[in-house]
Structure 1
Amino acid sequence: MKEFKSIFIGGRGYTVPSPTIEQTKAVIEALKCINAENIDQVPDAAEKLCKAISVAIYRNPAKAFMLRYRLKRLATLTELLEALNIVLSLIPVSEFLTTSDILDKLNKL
C-alpha cells in the first residue's frame, strides 16, 4: 500500500511517496557520514540533508538534482530536519535494516 506525506520546505509544499528500495538506499547513502547528535556542527550537513530529501521526493535523478539546488537556497536547517523525520518515517523498518545490512557488508569488502 502506497503511503504519502506532505512536507513544507522553503515556502513550498512537496508530496513524499513511500520510497522504493533504490530510494531508501540513496537516502541512507546520503546520510551515512552524519552524526545525528551534532548535525548542526557538520559543515556540509545541510547539503547531505537536501540530497537525502530530494531523492526521497523524486525518483528521477535530474529532478532530484534541481530540487536539491532549490532546497540549498531556500530551506533552513530546522525545515530540513523536520522533512527528514517525515521521510524516514515512511521507510519501513524491515526495509531500512535490510538496506543498512547490505551497505555494511559492501563497505567491508
Structure 2
Amino acid sequence: MDDSKMVGGKVKKPGKRGRKPAKIDLKAKLERSRQSARECRARKKLRYQYLEELVSSKERAICALREELEMYKQWCTAMDQGKIPSEIKALLTGDEQNSSTKSSKNSNQS
C-alpha cells in the first residue's frame, strides 16, 4: 500500500501543510528592511521635535504665570501695608469710567 490516505473520498499525500514559502529575493528583503528602519527613525525624530517644542512652550507659559503670580503677591503685600498700587488704581478708574459712560449712553437713548 502507498503512503497516501483516503479522507472523505479524497486522496491526501503526506507533506507540509499551508502555503509554500515563496522564493523572496534576499537583497530586496534587506532593502525593504533598511527603508522601513529609515522611515521609523524619521518618524521618531519628528515626534521628539514635536515634544521638545511642546515642552518649551509649556515652560514659557509657566514662566509667564510665575511672573504674574509674583506681581499679584507684591500687590497684596502693598495693600496689606495700606498702599494701593498704581496698577490697581488704573484698573479701578478705568472700570468706573467705562461703567459711567455706558450708563450715560443708556440714559441718553431712553
Q: TM-score when scaled to structure 1?
A: 0.21
Judging by fraction of residues, say which structure has more strand.
1
